Structure 1
Amino acid sequence: MSNGYELWLNYQKVTDDALLNQYRSSLQTVYLEGESDTHLAIKKELQMGLGGLLDTEVVFQKYNGLGNTLIVSKYKDLPQDFKTIVTAEGLTEEGYIIKTAQLNGKSHVVVSSKEDVGLLYGTFHFLRLLQTHSSLANIDIMEMPKVNIRVLNHWDNLDRSVERGYAGFSIWNWHTLPNYIDQRYIDYARANASVGINGTVVTNVNANALILTPHYLEKVKALAEVFRPYGIKVYLTARFSAPIEIGGLETADPLDAGVIQWWKDKTKEIYTMIPDFGGFLVKANSEGQPGPQNYGRSHLDGANLLADALEPYDGVVMWRAFVYSEHDPTDRAKQAYSEFLPEDGKFKDNVILQVKNGAIDFQPREPFHPMFGAMPNTPLMMEFQITKEYLGFATHLAFLPKLFEETLKSDTYRKGKGATVAKVIDGSLDNKKLSGMAGVSNVGTDINWTGHPFGQADWYGFGRLAWDPYLSAEDIADEWLRLTFSNDDKFVEPVKKMMIESREAVVNYMNPLGLHHIFDTGHHYGPGPWVGNLSRPEWNPVYYHKADTEGIGFDRTKTGSNALSQYAPEVEEMFTNLETCPEEYLLWFHHLPWDYTLKNGRTLWEGMGLKYQEGVDQVRDMIKIWKAMEPYVDEFRHHQVSMLLNIQLKEAIWWKDACMLYFQTFSKMDFPKEMEAPEHTLEYYKSLKFPYAPGIRPRWD
């Protein structure tokens, strides 16, 4: 019985007897020469992987001259000229080949790379082939990552609370580090390496300067040493006011000579302890965080300050573009573009701007951020949220790679048709050397890491898309199900369909037809479309839906905020024209009357009710599908998912009832006959309070 701790690396014994015998007869001996820490990690993984899958002891032999190559064979002796057919030509440092090699009439499986880390990635891919019951005949695979920087962002605080975390406490036990190395740190590194993630930002973007003090750097060093064999670099969040808070300076002005020297000295100190330190992630002048604008300077000044300090060590600055100000009365969706576009091409070569997938804030559905189509001279990296801040926390099943894929496939039209967000992110559109993708982690101390067992698929899928942003969500779901649960198609096909449709179900019962940010405030748990009393306009849900007696929606066309002007003309025209605007974005870009006619002939008001009801019904279908899967899943995880799906249904009904009752106070219309009547009154739903909802942002005093 599995509790989910092993993630997709559970290496269950192959249950197909014919396939098991084929694998056993073909994979009796592993030839591996190296003794580096990464090679030792590869050896351990093969012992676990082959040992578990084949239920047999793995025999290792050395073969001089192989370098970063391993051979898995049924033969105990290899010819001396074997290495002549092994080549890593054409590979990047992280790339690898896996192929079936024939020599003297005998067949062998070869994994080869230029560097140790490539061999590690190739080993995980090889084991994945076995886990998914793939044939070993005629393998011919060459893989290289399309994105350079593939990182998890942990919004973990030093007290082990996790902002927007729904799977327990932070896995980093700062109190017992550096002397106590939890096995979970090692397994975390294995899991990330298995999907190609090569970096981790271990601290919250709402940063604490203490992480840069010697006391904590010693602890970070210990983590870096655990992660290094798995090809994972450590990054830290740099609090912009650190020179004042821990440096004793009177200012953090990025143009002040003392501040410049302080950051250079601090950076040198870090690299002396952690030679492969990745660099800094910075959130500045956003949501109350300090930054260069405190001193009348720009984001450019702040980013280049840190870039200069990191440059001698090949370190990188990931400067977040999630900025909005209470002093800017314009549409919040426009503010990041307005602040960063004038600086295009002026940042140092080791600066990459980290841009959220949409311009608001990780909503269940957002159009792609306009910055992706507007900054040809600056590297941009994607920031996705893996943790489900706005998608039901860790109690709702919503397969996020479908959301990620939707964004990556979006066409910016910056160089005409086909200029997709994926091509911006991997640097291919403008020949950028620096590229990246970040995912806000959903990892915690829960035994299964992610709270919801299906939350593991979001972590897995992020890693796979960071490696190759052109993969399909369907293929990722198929892979993950086979690795995690079962290879039986009678299980995989219906559950894969459920996963692929799950995110759309959440959109339907939360934010249909382009509604957005109507969550209850602070914790973002449940609906709160009526909230309008907060001090900053853009913190209030009423700011985003603008419901009144005339209609509903945010006008971002020329007659409204004109946010659409930030997109390419082709995109602007598509979203502006009601005939061509996809209905899933209708209320994102338009304020429309309640009796506006949708493409199906129903009114907007009826369409909203039908979408809310459809989302509820989709969750009921998920429950039925999962119940039928009981023969294929262990009792523990089947029961766990069943309970969570029942919570999801309860909360989907809550969303439907609360939102439709509230919006009815403006529309004055009856609910469509197909929509189930609300279970409670609007006053009841407005009275619900959740002061202890998980993941609430802590105060900074």
Structure 2
Amino acid sequence: MFTRFLKSLFFACFFVLLVFTATANDGYKLWLQYAPFETHTEAHYYHEYLSDISLVGQSPTHEVISKEFQLATEGFFKGSLTPRIDSSGNGKIWVGKISDLPVKISRSFKDQLEKIGDQGYLLLYVSGQVIVTAKKDVGLLYGTFALLKAIQTRERLDELDRLENPKIQTRMLNHWDNLNRTVERGYAGFSIWNWHRLPNHIDKQYIDYARANASLGINATSITNVNANALVLTPIYLEKAAAIADAFRPYGIKLYLTARFSAPMELDKLPTADPLDPAVQAWWKDKAKEIYEYIPDFGGFVVKADSEGQPGPHNYGRTQADGANLLAEALQPFGGLVMWRAFVYSENTPTDRTKQAYDEFKPLDGKFLDNVIVQVKNGPLDFQPREPFHPLFGAMPETPLMMEFQITKEYLGQDTHWVNLASLWKEVLQADTYAKGQGSTISKVLDGSLHGYKHTAITGVANIGTDRNWTGHPTAQADWYSYGRLAWDPHTDIGQIAEDWLKMTFTTDATFVSTAKNIMLKSHSIAVDYMTPLGLHHIMARSHHWGPGPWVTGGRRDDWTATYYHRASEDGIGFDRTSAGSNALEQYNPAVQKQWQDLESTSLDYLLWFHRVPWDKELSSGNTLWMEMALRYQRGVEGARWMQAEWDSIEGKIDEERFGHIRSFLKIQVSEAEWWRDACLLYFQQFAQQPLPEGVEAPEKDLEYYMGFRRFFVPGI
């Protein structure tokens, strides 16, 4: 009787405390908010488990797990509960490796336990206990975060029975961060890596970064720009990088660095960087040995070569395999990997820029050393709002390929547009290459199941910076989160990902979650409509890629202009990539070619990517090309306005600070959607020479105004 009274008193005080401690939320905690329970029933249910935890074993990762339970419990109960964490084995939550499991459980669940991989875990409810178990420490960490996610999303713990192994071995973030702390294509402030303070000071943000990544299963990070600076390979910077690696190690995260191909010349005055030169080969072997003395578990190199002015094997008449194998051979004794980017193009403007990576890498299939992974962008051009999948994914069965997604929104509104990138990525991951017949999806290429790759990997170009909310736009946190979830399992339902993120980041309120999820899942198609409908691509403003620039022409390279890609004239618009044009379509499997070869049957989403189409051509929609283009631009604007109205309808469901931040950005997004529509339609209308169809709003300004618009100091260049 007295015990029940004490419990009732505790929960009464707990909810009074909630009322008087509500504070603003700047978004720093990401999806690890560990927000207080919203009902007495929830608090009572989870209190029973979180108050009594057994953590069996000792290691730096065990210390991380213990701290995470403490942080979570403090958040869930507003500091009014300190969990008992010991190694007794009797806790309501039991966390320990398979080797430490009680014999009774080991025998009863032998089949499930044998299926756990080195990075996997098992969540199980057995006889009143929640069991978190794994082969390795890192699996225990992932399992702990999975349990805490279950609590954040208000799952029943007495129904847990979940075995998880990652589908892809190496799940990486690529930071395009420079040593001076600027971030190329970064829209959330400066780089979080403060090289001046390293190695003696480890900023708390590094630890919170590691926590966030570990909660998603991200286990690798490359912290320097692919447009590399050779200085990062010198002792003064290796010492700093080693300090970061030490901080990340308990979280299961390996450190990678970008390697500048000409480093032997720049750092030690070698006369050449020729990959077949014995002195160059010796230099890289010595450098690899030196790096591993600083960082014993160093992951390896990420390399951009022969692209956008970066040096590479082309300078010496060598192949991409020659260049990659040079570094791979140096790393082999230590187990390191080379992630060699396929984003290459020649010094001269090609007939079709989208063809070069395939033309250069396809003949080299099987000629790379086995610790090389070729890193391929999702599309053949450059992270456009929508592209067909990269043809290399259907063409290199003997060479491990990894996906490169762009989490930062270089071409998708940068820091002010709400665009859920999971929708774009899922479209790519489920695309069928037909490499081994129907069902040969890109997700199966990446996880190694299609070709039996020895190494599997995926990476995303990070979108974080020193902004308090990490990503500039609060909803851009969802892109980091979604990337991590899809990297763990490319088959994960993106609707479930969105729902989990919303519940963990904001609230479990059903109306809020349903409304915001609907916005998220429709946002990408809306952005494509007001930016690049019907397969238009690369029509952004020059250099900074912020805002429309379909008129961009001239300059050093034709393939850095918009007119190179859309080719608009009075006769029509579009880039013919069929056999009658550049024949880029030939790089795909015949079954894929069949989908896009015929103008009449090509999806309207890719129409102008593959075909040149007259303005008055009637499409499958029943509209002429011009009408369909104009109506889609208008539909995009109306979609942005719909997003704004839907968000306004859930005011009061979350904290004012983040709600207001997103509301103000949606206002910008609507304005810029109108700008995109008006600028593009005015420009293309001078070629189409037709009026705007009914229902499309007339622009407020003339074309000269939009073409003359300038914005200075755009971030991220």
Smaller-chain TM-score bracket: over 0.9
Partner of 2:515: 494
Residue from 293, 300, 307 that aligns with 2:321: 300
Is it true that 1:589 corresponds to 2:589 in the alignment?
Answer: no
Partner of 1:93: 118
Is it true that 1:8 corresponds to 2:31 in the alignment?
Answer: yes
Is it true that 1:42 corresponds to 2:65 in the alignment?
Answer: yes
Partner of 1:28: 51
Seq. identity, %: 56
Partner of 2:85: 60
Greater mean alpha carbon deviation, residues 385-394 or residues 325-334: 325-334
Task: Report the CA distance between 1:17 and its aligned residue.
Answer: 1.6
In 1, distance between residues paired with 2:478 and 2:442?
Answer: 22
Partner of 1:633: 654
Task: Report the CA distance between 1:174 and its aligned residue.
Answer: 0.5
Task: Report the CA distance between 1:690 and its aligned residue.
Answer: 2.3
Partner of 1:75: none
Task: Report the CA distance between 1:26 and its aligned residue.
Answer: 3.6
Give runs of aligned pairs for residues 132-531 of structure 1, distance below 5 A. Answer: 132-327=153-348, 329-531=350-552
In 1, distance between residues paired with 2:716 and 2:265?
Answer: 29
Partner of 2:17: none
**Conserved in 2, the CA contact under 8 Å of 1:227 and 1:233?**
yes
In 1, distance between residues paired with 2:361 and 2:676?
Answer: 36
* Structure 2, gaps ≥5 residues long: 1-23
Task: Report the CA distance between 1:428 and its aligned residue.
Answer: 0.6
In 1, distance between residues paired with 2:183 and 2:96?
Answer: 43
- The one-letter amino acid paired with 1:498 is I
User: Cα deviations across residues 435-476 of structure 1 (Å, max 9, x unaligned)?
Assistant: 111000000000000000000000000000000000121111
In 2, distance between residues paired with 1:69 and 1:364?
Answer: 45
Task: Report the CA distance between 1:531 and its aligned residue.
Answer: 1.0
Partner of 1:699: none
**Conserved in 2, the CA contact under 8 Å of 1:661 and 1:681?**
yes
User: Cα deviations across residues 400-430 of structure 1 (Å, max 9, x unaligned)?
Assistant: 0110100000000111110001000111101
User: RMSD value over aligned CA atoms?
Assistant: 1.6
- Tell me: CA distance 1:550–1:612, structure 2 relative to 1, closer, same or farther (3 Å): same
User: Cα deviations across residues 128-165 of structure 1 (Å, max 9, x unaligned)?
Assistant: 00000001122110000000110000000000000000
Q: What SS does the corresponding residue of 2:340 show, helix, strand or coil? A: strand
- The one-letter amino acid paired with 1:93 is D
In 2, distance between residues paired with 1:319 and 1:27?
Answer: 45
**Conserved in 2, the CA contact under 8 Å of 1:86 and 1:112?**
no
Give runs of aligned pairs for residues 58-137 of structure 1, distance below 5 A. Answer: 58-63=83-88, 70=95, 88-102=113-127, 107-137=128-158
In 2, distance between residues paired with 1:201 and 1:219?
Answer: 14
**Conserved in 1, the CA contact under 8 Å of 2:254 and 2:298?**
yes
- The one-letter amino acid paired with 2:157 is L
- The one-letter amino acid paired with 2:65 is I
- The one-letter amino acid paired with 2:360 is E
In 1, distance between residues paired with 2:685 and 2:104?
Answer: 79
- The one-letter amino acid paired with 1:4 is G
Q: What SS does the corresponding residue of 1:188 show, helix, strand or coil? A: helix
Partner of 1:671: 692
Task: Report the CA distance between 1:27 and its aligned residue.
Answer: 3.6
In 2, distance between residues paired with 1:280 and 1:37?
Answer: 26
Task: Report the CA distance between 1:294 and its aligned residue.
Answer: 0.4
User: Cα deviations across residues 381-406 of structure 1 (Å, max 9, x unaligned)?
Assistant: 00000000000001000000110100
User: Cα deviations across residues 159-180 of structure 1 (Å, max 9, x unaligned)?
Assistant: 0000000000000000111111
Q: What SS does the corresponding residue of 1:142 show, helix, strand or coil? A: strand
Q: What SS does the corresponding residue of 2:159 show, helix, strand or coil? A: coil
Task: Report the CA distance between 1:330 and its aligned residue.
Answer: 2.4
Task: Report the CA distance between 1:329 and its aligned residue.
Answer: 2.4
In 1, distance between residues paired with 2:102 and 2:52?
Answer: 14
In 2, distance between residues paired with 1:80 and 1:416?
Answer: 46
Instruction: Name the TM-score, length of structure 2 as normaliser.
Output: 0.94
In 2, distance between residues paired with 1:237 and 1:60?
Answer: 41
In 2, distance between residues paired with 1:80 and 1:545?
Answer: 67
Residue from 598, 601, 619 that aligns with 1:598: 619
Is it true that 1:17 corresponds to 2:66 in the alignment?
Answer: no
**Conserved in 1, the CA contact under 8 Å of 2:94 and 2:129?**
no
User: Cα deviations across residues 520-543 of structure 1 (Å, max 9, x unaligned)?
Assistant: 111001111111112211011000
- Tell me: CA distance 1:38–1:601, structure 2 relative to 1, closer, same or farther (3 Å): same
**Conserved in 1, the CA contact under 8 Å of 2:386 and 2:424?**
yes
In 2, distance between residues paired with 1:660 and 1:309?
Answer: 54
Aligned residues: 686
In 1, distance between residues paired with 2:332 and 2:372?
Answer: 10
In 1, distance between residues paired with 2:666 and 2:630?
Answer: 22
User: Cα deviations across residues 25-65 of structure 1 (Å, max 9, x unaligned)?
Assistant: 24431111222100100000011113322442110121379
**Conserved in 2, the CA contact under 8 Å of 1:411 and 1:417?**
yes
Partner of 1:683: 704
Q: What SS does the corresponding residue of 2:54 show, helix, strand or coil? A: strand
- The one-letter amino acid paired with 2:28 is Y
- Tell me: CA distance 1:79–1:34, structure 2 relative to 1, closer, same or farther (3 Å): closer
- Tell me: CA distance 1:79–1:431, structure 2 relative to 1, closer, same or farther (3 Å): closer
* Structure 1, gaps ≥5 residues long: 73-77, 697-701
- The one-letter amino acid paired with 2:507 is S
**Conserved in 2, the CA contact under 8 Å of 1:279 and 1:317?**
yes
**Conserved in 1, the CA contact under 8 Å of 2:96 and 2:134?**
no
- Tell me: CA distance 1:572–1:84, structure 2 relative to 1, closer, same or farther (3 Å): closer
In 2, distance between residues paired with 1:410 and 1:595?
Answer: 31
Task: Report the CA distance between 1:579 and its aligned residue.
Answer: 3.1
**Conserved in 1, the CA contact under 8 Å of 2:340 and 2:372?**
yes
**Conserved in 1, the CA contact under 8 Å of 2:173 and 2:459?**
yes
**Conserved in 1, the CA contact under 8 Å of 2:54 and 2:89?**
no
In 2, distance between residues paired with 1:535 and 1:281?
Answer: 28
User: Cα deviations across residues 102-145 of structure 1 (Å, max 9, x unaligned)?
Assistant: 2xxxx100000000000000000000000000011221100000
Partner of 1:578: 599
In 1, distance between residues paired with 2:349 and 2:625?
Answer: 32
Greater mean alpha carbon deviation, residues 492-501 or residues 88-97: 88-97
In 1, distance between residues paired with 2:428 and 2:706?
Answer: 33
Task: Report the CA distance between 1:86 and its aligned residue.
Answer: 7.1
In 2, distance between residues paired with 1:408 and 1:138?
Answer: 31
Greater mean alpha carbon deviation, residues 579-588 or residues 157-166: 579-588
- The one-letter amino acid paired with 1:90 is K
- Tell me: CA distance 1:627–1:259, structure 2 relative to 1, closer, same or farther (3 Å): same
**Conserved in 2, the CA contact under 8 Å of 1:155 and 1:202?**
yes
Task: Report the CA distance between 1:612 and its aligned residue.
Answer: 0.5
In 2, distance between residues paired with 1:94 and 1:45?
Answer: 19
In 1, distance between residues paired with 2:712 and 2:330?
Answer: 42
**Conserved in 2, the CA contact under 8 Å of 1:352 and 1:434?**
yes
Partner of 2:630: 609
User: Cα deviations across residues 277-308 of structure 1 (Å, max 9, x unaligned)?
Assistant: 00000000001100011011110000000000
